[in-house]
Structure 1
Amino acid sequence: MRVLTGLDVLLNDKKLQKTFKGNVALLCHNASIDSKYTHAALGFKTAFGERFVKLFGPQHGFSTDVQDNMVETDHVIHPFFKIPVYSLYSETRIPTDPMLENIDHLFVDLQDVGCRVYTYIYTLTHLLEKCSNKNIEIVVLDRPNPINGVDIEGNILESGFESFVGRHPIPIRHGMTIGEVALMHQKFWVKEKANLTVIKMQHWQRGMFFEDTKLPWLLPSPNLSRIESSYTFPATVLFEGTTLSEGRGTTQSLEIIGHPKIEPFSFYEDVLSVAKKQSKLEGFKYRPITFLPTFQKQGNKVCGGIQIHVTDKSIYKPWRAGQLLMRELYHYLGDDFGWKEPPYEYIYDQKPIDVINGSEKMRHWVVDNNSMEELDVFEDLKDYKLNLDDIKIY
C-alpha cells in the first residue's frame, strides 16, 4: 500500500483544512509534492485560496536550483503565485519578524534524507525557536525517512561543534522523520516551546526504505537526484571536508569519490578490498571507476576513484563505509590528500571535516590509521535511543 505523506493527508481532507483558520504560509522545496506529483504550493493555492499568503524556501532555494554550500538565494515575489518567497538561506537562516507577520499557520513540507549533515531539519528547528513566543502554529507535514526509521549509526554531535549541518546532539544516521525531529527538539532541546502540530503519514512503517513507500522520488537538493544517492550520502558527505571530489558535477554525485592522483584499480585491488575484508562490513560493494567532474572540487580533471553500490540495505552501514574509505584514501594519497580549509557552513574557525563529523576524533582516527573496533568506541547511542523511543509517533 502506498504511503500517504502529511501533505497527502492534508490535501485529501477538506474537514482538516477547515481547522486551520486565518492566513497560512508554506516552507517547501522541489520535493514537496503529493503522491500524484502535485506541488504543495499548488495544493495550498487550491485549498486555502487568498489565505495562502507567503512561501519560504530552505537551503538550495524554493526551486532547489542552487548548487553549493554558502551560496545564498534571494527573496522574491513568485511570478505565478504572486506572493513573497522568503529565503531562509540568505542573509539570515532564521526568519525575521517581518517575514512572519500576518501568518497564523506556517506549514513545513521538506523531504529530509535521514542524515545529521543536512540543513533542512535545522531550518525547521530555527523556525520553532523563533516562533516559541509568537501566536503562530507550526504544522509539520511529515515525510518518510528514506533510509528508514529503525537503523541509527555514527557518533553523537559533540558540544562545541554545532553548526548549520549539526545543531543538535544526534548521530549521523538519526532514524527520525522530520516530524519526529521537531518533537525531539521541543521535548529535549528547548525551554520555550512553540505551538507545534505534526500531521502524520498514513501507512508508513519504521522499517521502510524509500522504495517501500511507493512514493515518487524528487531530488530534495541538487545533488541527490537518485534515491541511491540518499543511501550513500551518510558515507560520501564526509568527503565534503576534504579536497577530494564527491562527484558533484557528474550524474552520480554523492555516490562516487575521487581524485586525479588515484589509480582506481590498483587502489581497489591492493588496498581497499583488503581493508574492507578485514572490516567485515557487508551490504555494499566498492567499485573502481574513473570520472570527470564538470564543476566544483577537481572540476574538469579526470579523477580515479570509487563508487559505493548498496547491495543489501538491511545490513549496510554507510557511516562505517565512509570512514573506512576516508582512512584508506588518506594513507594511499599521502601528501595529495587534503583537508578542506574553512569556512564551511558559516563556521570559520574549525576544520570542515570536524564540523561535518561533529567531533575531531574521527579525523584523528583516520590520520592515526586506527582500527574499526576503535571507531566503534565513538558510537555511544544508548541515551539517544531512549530519547528516540520517547518521541516516536509511528
Structure 2
Amino acid sequence: MKSLGLCLLMTLGVVFIESVPCDAAQAKARRRAPASGVESRQSAGPLATIGPVIEKAIKDGKCPGAVVLIGAKGKVVYRRAFGRRAIVPRPLPMRMDTIFDLASLTKVVATTTAVMQLVEQGKIRLEQPVTDYWPEFGSNGKGEITVRELMAHYSGLRGDLDLKLPWSGYETALRMIVAETPIAPPGTRFIYSDINYETLGELVRRVSGQPLDVYCRDRIFKPLGMKSTMFRPPTSLRLRIAPTQYQSGHSGKMLWGEVHDPTAYNMGGVAGHAGLFSTADDLGIFARMLLNGGSYDGVHILRPVTVDKMTTPQTPFGKMAVRGLGWDIDSPLASNRGDLFPVGSFGHTGFTGTSIWIDPFSKTYVILLTNAVHPTGEGNVVPLRAQVADIAAAAFARAPTKEELDSRMSSTGYWEIVNSYRAEAAHSDNVQTGIDVLESENFAPLAGRRVALITNHTGRDLEGRRTVDLLNHATGVKLASIFSPEHGLFGVADERVPSIIEPSLGLPVYSLYGETERPTDKMLEGVDALVYDIQDAGVRFYTYVTTLGYSMEAAARKGIPFYVLDRPNPIGGILVEGPVLDPDLKSFVAYFPLPVRHGMTIGELAQMFNQENRLGARLQVIKMHGWRRADWYDQTGLAWVNPSPNLRSLTEATLYPGVGMIEGANLSVGRGTDTPFEVLGAPWIGSKKLADYLNMRRIQGVRFSAYDFTPRENRFRGELCHGVRIDLVDRDALDAPELGVELAGALYKLFPQSFEIDKTLPLVGSRAVLDEIKRDRDPRRIAYYWEQGPLEQFRKMRAKYLLYQ
C-alpha cells in the first residue's frame, strides 16, 4: 500500500489541501473535480478554523471522519477530507470522492425535487388531497391530508412505520401506510415524519410511471452530471462508500453500501425518505443548481419560481416550526444553520451525519458529510454542524434586505398560501355532558335505584346545577351517599381529606382520599347503583382516573351497576403523547399503563379499564352529545370549572402534562402562586441560564423568560425561587410530555448536582425514558423512540374504546 501524505496542489497561486493518498489515481480524481473546486487565499484565513474544529470532533469520537465542501458566489472556497471513512472492518482513510449514505437528505435532493418537477408539469397540485393520486391512502382519517402538508411535515402522521415486528417489501410498506391513522389533525402541528416522504415517493411512482430511483436518475442526477449519486449503489463502488453501522446496533453485519435507515432497508433500499447515496462534489453541483434558480451548466432542472417556492415558508401562518417544501428554514431541527446564517436560508440534515445549508442571499452553501453512526451509532455531529456553519457564515453571509425577503415571499405567493390550509372546523359550542343527557332522559337508567354518587364540584349540568342536587331531587331516584376524590367534594383541599356530612343535604360524603382510597363494603351497604361524574384533566397522573378505577373494582366486587356520566377531555381527544407507564410502576398517580396524554374521555377510560383489567363491572357510559375529539374545552360551550385547586385555566391544563411530569423532584411548579404550572423554579436554579438554554432549544408552542417567585404554600413556601415563566404561544404545536423531558433534561444538564432527577420517575412513568434523559440524549430523539414503542401499541388498544368522532 502506498503511504498517505498531504498533497499540495498549486493552481494560479492558490493553495488546495486535501488529506488523501498521493497517487496518480487520486491526482486524476482531483482533475475530475469541478473546476471551481479550489480555495482562495482571501477566504482561507476565516475558514482556517474549520480544520481544528473537525479534528477535535474526530478526536472526541463524534465521528470517524468528515468531508467539508463550502461554496460562495459561484466558487468552491473550501474542499477537504478529514480522518477515516471506516474504522471497521479495517481502517480506511476519508477521501473527497467518498460516497455517503445521505439518510434524510434523500427527502430534499431526490423526493422534493421530483415532486416539484411533477408540479411544474401540472401532474401534481400541492393543495390537492393525496387521495387524488392514491385513493387507498385516505383510510383511517387521512382523506383530507394534502400534498403540501406531507412536504411541510404538517400532515399529522407519526414519525415512521412500526418496526417492532419484522416485515419486508415495498408493497408491505404501502399497506402499512394505508393503515396509518393521524395522531394530530392535518395542518395543526409540525411532526417530522418519514411516512410523509415514504408517501411522496410512492406518489412520484404513481404519477410518473417510474420508480423513484429511476425517475431521479433520469430526470435529476444524470442531467446534472451527478455521477456518484444513486440509490442502491453497486458493489463495485463499495471501497468508495463510507460504511455506517452494525445492523443490530452493536452486532450483526456492517451496513456498507446498503441503506442505514431500517424502514428504507425493509422497503428494498429505495424510499422517499432515505436510501440515496452521494458525494460532497455531487451535492455541490445540486446546491449550485438551486442557487442558480434551478439550472446548472446549461441544464434546467427546475424553474426559478419553483426553487423559491420550495425554499420559502410553506407552513401554516404563525407556526413556530417554519418549513419550506421539504427544506428546513427555521424549525427545531435546523441545527446546521448555526447562529449566523439568516432566516431565509435553508437546508436539511441526515441521521447518518450528513447535512447541507444554503444561503440564497450571499450565494453560499455548506456541505458537511460524515458517517457519525459508524460503527455503533454513538457519534453526534449536531454541535459540529453549527460550528462549521458559523465559521462559513462569518466569512460570507450577510443580512438580507427587507426588499429581498419581500421579493421572495411575493414571488411564491406566500401570503396567499398560508391561508390555503383548511380553516379550522366549526366547533360544537353546545356540548351536553353525561348529566345533561341523563337529565333529558328523566334519569330513566337510575329509576328505582338507591344511588351512591362519586363526584365533586365539577359535577354540574349546563346551567351550573350540581349533579348532587339533581339526583337528590330526581323522581324515582334515591341518593343515598356521596363519595369525593382528591381535593374533596368542594375541590379546595390540597391535603388528605376527611369524610364529612354534606351540609345542605345531610348526606354522608365518604372521602376516597383520606383513610381509604377505595369504597369499602360498609360504605356500599344498601347501594344498588354507583354513578361517577367528575371532570378529568386528560393526564395519566391526574388521580381522578385512579379513583374511577378503584371504584369500578369495588362495584364489580359487589355486583353493583356502575354508571359514568361522560365529560370532555379538556385538552382534546386526538393527541396521544408521552411515555407509557411501566406496568410495575402502578400507584395512586398511575392506575393503568397510559401515556402521559391519553386523549380519552373518562367514559372511554372506564370501558378500557373494565375490559383490559377484566374487572367484570356492569358498566354503562352515558355518552355526551355534540362533543368531537378535536374540541378543546373552550370550544365546547361549557363553563370552565377548576378541576382542582391548581388547574385554574385551560392554559394551565395544557401545560400540566409537561410541567407536572417533573414536579416530584426538588422544585416548585408554581403551586402556591397565582399561575401554577405556568412557572417553574427552585432556590438552586439560575433563572437566566435556564431560560436562555430552553429558548435555545426552540421547543414548539412555548417560550421562556427568566422569572423569580415566592410560593405562599406547598414546596419552598416563603422561599425565593429562581426559574422560568412558560408562555404558551401555540397550544396545537405543543407536545407537552416532550416539554417535560426538555425541562428535565435542561435541569439535569445545567444543575446536575442539585436536581434530584430520580424523584421524577413516578410521574415520568418510564425507566427507559429517565435513563435516556440521564444519558443526555436529545429530548426529541427520546420522544421519537417512545413513538415507536409502547405508545403505538397503546394507540391500537385505545382505538377499540373510542366513543366519539
Same-fold call, TM cutoff 0.5: yes
Change (3 A) 1:331 1:18: closer
Structure 2 residue 439 is matched with structure 1 residue 11: yes
User: What does the per-residue CA deviation read over 1:195-252, in whole Å, with 9 as the maximum and x for residues that have no partner?
Assistant: 1110011100001111111211111111111221110000111222211101011011
Partners of 1:186 and 1:256 in 2: how far apart? 37
Partners of 1:32 and 1:19 in 2: how far apart? 17
Contact 1:154–1:319, Cα closer than 8 Å, also in 2: yes
1:154 aligned residue (578, 582, 595): 578
Describe how 1:1-394 pairs up with structure 2 within 5 A. 1-14=429-442, 16-17=443-444, 19-48=446-475, 51-67=478-494, 71-190=495-614, 192-269=615-692, 271-274=693-696, 276-277=697-698, 281-339=699-757, 352-371=759-778, 372-379=780-787, 380=789, 381-394=791-804
Contact 1:20–1:105, Cα closer than 8 Å, also in 2: no
Residue identity in the other structure for 1:289: Y
Partners of 1:317 and 1:375 in 2: how far apart? 9
Change (3 A) 1:373 1:75: same
Shift of 1:146: 0.6
Shift of 1:284: 2.1
Partners of 2:794 and 2:478 in 1: how far apart? 40
Shift of 1:308: 2.2
User: How high is the sequence identity, in percent, across the aligned residues?
Assistant: 32
Shift of 1:147: 0.8
Looking at both structures, which has the greater relative contact order when contacts are Cα pairs under 8 Å and sequence separation is at least 6?
Answer: 1
Q: Secondary structure at the match of 1:81?
A: coil
Partners of 1:336 and 1:383 in 2: how far apart? 36
Shift of 1:266: 3.7
User: What does the per-residue CA deviation read over 1:241-281, in whole Å, with 9 as the maximum and x for residues that have no partner?
Assistant: 21110101101112211112333234322x2222x23xxx4
2:367 aligned partner:
none
Contact 2:690–2:724, Cα closer than 8 Å, also in 1: no
Residue identity in the other structure for 2:726: I
Q: Secondary structure at the match of 2:777?
A: coil
Shift of 1:64: 1.4
1:347 aligned partner:
none
Contact 2:538–2:570, Cα closer than 8 Å, also in 1: yes
Partners of 2:490 and 2:616 in 1: how far apart? 30
2:231 aligned partner:
none
Change (3 A) 1:198 1:42: same
User: What does the per-residue CA deviation read over 1:169-191, in whole Å, with 9 as the maximum and x for residues that have no partner?
Assistant: 1101001000000000112122x
Contact 1:235–1:322, Cα closer than 8 Å, also in 2: yes
Partners of 2:632 and 2:466 in 1: how far apart? 22
Residue identity in the other structure for 2:803: I
Shift of 1:18: 6.2
Partners of 1:110 and 1:50 in 2: how far apart? 20
The two structures have a TM-score, normalised by structure 1, of 0.90
Shift of 1:366: 2.5
Q: Secondary structure at the match of 2:504?
A: coil
Partners of 1:166 and 1:225 in 2: how far apart? 22
Partners of 2:491 and 2:446 in 1: how far apart? 30
Contact 1:292–1:300, Cα closer than 8 Å, also in 2: yes
Contact 1:152–1:174, Cα closer than 8 Å, also in 2: yes
Shift of 1:359: 2.1
Change (3 A) 1:335 1:352: closer
Contact 1:365–1:375, Cα closer than 8 Å, also in 2: no
Shift of 1:384: 1.1
Partners of 2:445 and 2:799 in 1: how far apart? 32
1:344 aligned partner:
none
Partners of 1:337 and 1:95 in 2: how far apart? 38
Partners of 2:475 and 2:775 in 1: how far apart? 58
Q: Which runs of 5+ in 1 are unaligned?
A: 340-350
Residue identity in the other structure for 1:377: Y
Partners of 2:451 and 2:475 in 1: how far apart? 8
Partners of 2:611 and 2:476 in 1: how far apart? 34
Q: Secondary structure at the match of 2:472?
A: helix
Partners of 1:264 and 1:210 in 2: how far apart? 32
Q: Secondary structure at the match of 1:285?
A: strand
Partners of 1:338 and 1:56 in 2: how far apart? 36
Partners of 2:505 and 2:613 in 1: how far apart? 36
Change (3 A) 1:334 1:78: same
Contact 2:662–2:764, Cα closer than 8 Å, also in 1: no
2:243 aligned partner:
none
Q: What is the Cα-based RMSD across aligned positions, in Å?
A: 1.7
Partners of 2:493 and 2:533 in 1: how far apart? 19
Contact 2:567–2:624, Cα closer than 8 Å, also in 1: yes
Contact 1:124–1:182, Cα closer than 8 Å, also in 2: yes
Shift of 1:336: 2.5
Shift of 1:50: 7.1
Shift of 1:81: 0.9
Query: Number of matched residues?
Result: 373
User: What does the per-residue CA deviation read over 1:52-107, in whole Å, with 9 as the maximum and x for residues that have no partner?
Assistant: 1100001111121211xxx3211222221111100111221111001111111111
Residue identity in the other structure for 1:228: T
Change (3 A) 1:134 1:43: same
Larger radius of gyration: 2
Residue identity in the other structure for 1:9: V
Partners of 1:314 and 1:18 in 2: how far apart? 38
Which stretch has the larger CA shift, 47-56 or 310-319?
Answer: 47-56
Contact 2:604–2:802, Cα closer than 8 Å, also in 1: yes
Give every structure 1 segment of 4 or more consecutive aligned residues whose post-TM-superposition deviation is greater than 3 Å. Answer: 16-19
Q: Secondary structure at the match of 2:557?
A: coil
Partners of 2:661 and 2:580 in 1: how far apart? 15
The two structures have a TM-score, normalised by structure 2, of 0.45
